[in-house]
């Protein structure tokens, strides 16, 4: 069974209204290409803009159950296609960087706010999320266990690990930064060590500090019929603006997860207590870290 994932590697327009219109057009294009899921880049509602002025920032934020978001819920039902829409979310005391997943019936599956906010930069003016979520997403090929990380979340192995432990088979990752060899390697590593697929959607060239290269890694490193390991990268887009499609073989992934050695097969969590201690020592002390 092949699950078709559309990565909407598109440029923001500069206004909420036009981002809504462009987002609708691109979702329709994804459906025309046969997509089962459409994924937006990070904070599509305002094109990942975080002004210094808090009042200006708050004025850009949209309600998680407001017209902008609900339009994509209705569109998901109309197109019979899941949509992961991203927003600057109205939240108190500060807005959040959020992805909302609608299934193909237009039902909201989760609202995930970025946990690892970039507090060393503009995201110091955002609130962080509280938890990671996994849902049984109803798709054309049946139920798929889906969760999300957002951009900087991928740089912490704990993010993907928690989602794997909660049952995720596929992670949808909105992004807004230069995707170069090291960040792509992080995604490859997260997919490999957790035996799950990771689909990442970035902004294309033309958006400052972004370069496209949206990607999908399926995490399947070894197949018995191959003499050596295989490339787990199903898709790495160019820097150009477009709607890119990757086909994820869910049968192959599930069989692999049943028999290979990674993921949760041989973990020793009783040895990992230090991982949940909250003290930080030099050289990692940062004055701008939020608690």
Query: How many CB atoms sit inside 10 A of residue 155's CB?
Result: 14
User: Environment class of residue 208 by beta-carbon count within 10 Å: exposed (0-12), middle (13-18) or buried (19+)?
Assistant: exposed
Residue 224 has pLDDT above 90, yes or no: no
What was the pLDDT predicted at 96?
Answer: 98
Between CA 48 and CA 212 the distance in angstroms is: 14
- Asked if pLDDT for residue 288 goes beyond 90, the answer is no
Sheet containing 215-217: give its strands across. 134-139, 142-148, 170-174, 197-201, 215-217, 233-236
pLDDT tens-digit profile of 91-124? 999 999 999 999 999 999 999 999 999 999 999 9
Enumerate the domain spans of the chain: 2-276
Whether the CB-CB separation of 40 and 86 falls below 8 Å is answered with yes
Could you tell me the pLDDT band of residue 152, with boundaries at 50, 70 and 90? very high
Coil vs helix vs strand at 1: coil
For residue 3, pLDDT beyond 80: yes
In tens, the pLDDT along 185-218 reads: 999 999 999 999 999 999 999 999 999 999 999 9
Q: Kindly report which listed range (8-17, 90-99, 218-227) carries the lowest average pLDDT score.
A: 218-227
* pLDDT confidence of residue 291: 65
pTM: 0.96
- Rounded to an integer, the average pLDDT of 158-178 is 98
**pLDDT for 150:** 98
Strand partners, 57: none
Residue 161 CA to residue 156 CA, distance in Å, equals 9
List, for residues 36-77, the tens digit of each pLDDT value.
Answer: 999 999 999 999 999 999 999 999 999 999 999 999 999 999
So what's the pLDDT on residue 16? 98
Task: Give the integer Cα–Cα distance in Å for 284 and 95.
Answer: 27
Q: What is the pLDDT of residue 131?
A: 97
214/202 Cα distance (integer angstroms) = 5
Task: Compute the average pLDDT of residues 260-284.
Answer: 92
Confidence of residue 1 (pLDDT cuts 50, 70, 90): confident
CB 171 within 8 A of CB 149: yes
Q: What CATH number does the domain located at 2-276 have? A: 3.60.110.10
3-state helix, strand, coil in the chain (%, to 5): 30, 25, 45
Q: How far is CA 93 from CA 45, 54, 88, 168, in A?
A: 19, 10, 13, 31
Radius of gyration of the chain from Cα atoms?
18
Cα separation, 233 vs 219, whole angstroms: 8
pLDDT of 110: 98
Strands, sheet with 108-113, edge to edge from the N-terminal-most edge strand: 108-113, 96-102, 82-89, 37-39, 2-9, 242-249
Arithmetic mean of pLDDT over the chain: 97
Secondary structure (DSSP) of 103-121 = -TTS-EEEEEE-SS--TTT
Say whether 291 sits in a helix, a strand or coil. coil
Q: What is the pLDDT of residue 4?
A: 98
Determine the average pLDDT of the residues in 16-32.
Answer: 98
Confidence of residue 140 (pLDDT cuts 50, 70, 90): very high
């Amino acid at each position: 069974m092949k699950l078709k994932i559309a990565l909407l590697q598109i440029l923001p327009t500069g206004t909420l209204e036009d981002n809504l219109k462009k987002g609708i057009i691109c979702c329709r294009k994804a459906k025309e290409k046969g997509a089962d899921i459409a994924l937006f880049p990070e904070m599509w509602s305002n094109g990942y803009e975080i002004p210094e002025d808090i009042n200006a920032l708050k004025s850009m934020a949209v309600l998680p159950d407001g017209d902008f978001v609900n339009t994509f819920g209705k569109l998901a039902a109309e197109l019979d296609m899941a949509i992961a829409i991203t927003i600057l979310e109205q939240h108190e005391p500060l807005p959040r960087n959020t992805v909302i997943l609608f299934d193909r019936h237009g039902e909201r599956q989760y609202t995930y706010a970025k946990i690892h906010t970039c507090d060393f930069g503009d995201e110091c003016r955002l609130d962080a999320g509280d938890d990671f979520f996994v849902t049984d997403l109803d798709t054309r090929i049946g139920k798929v266990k889906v969760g999300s990380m957002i951009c900087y979340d991928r740089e912490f192995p704990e993010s993907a690990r928690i989602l794997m432990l909660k049952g995720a088979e596929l992670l949808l990752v909105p992004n807004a930064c230069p995707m170069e060899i090291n960040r792509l390697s992080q995604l490859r590593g997260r997919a490999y060590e957790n035996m799950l697929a990771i689909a990442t959607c970035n902004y294309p060239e033309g958006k400052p500090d972004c370069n496209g290269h949206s990607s999908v890694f399926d995490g399947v490193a070894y197949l018995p019929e191959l003499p050596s390991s295989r490339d787990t990268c199903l898709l790495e887009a160019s820097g150009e603006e477009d709607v890119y499609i990757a086909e994820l073989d869910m049968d192959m992934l599930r069989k692999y997860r049943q028999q290979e050695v990674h993921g949760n097969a041989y973990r020793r969590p009783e040895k990992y207590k230090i991982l949940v201690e909250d003290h930080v020592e030099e050289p990692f002390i940062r004055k701008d870290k939020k608690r």
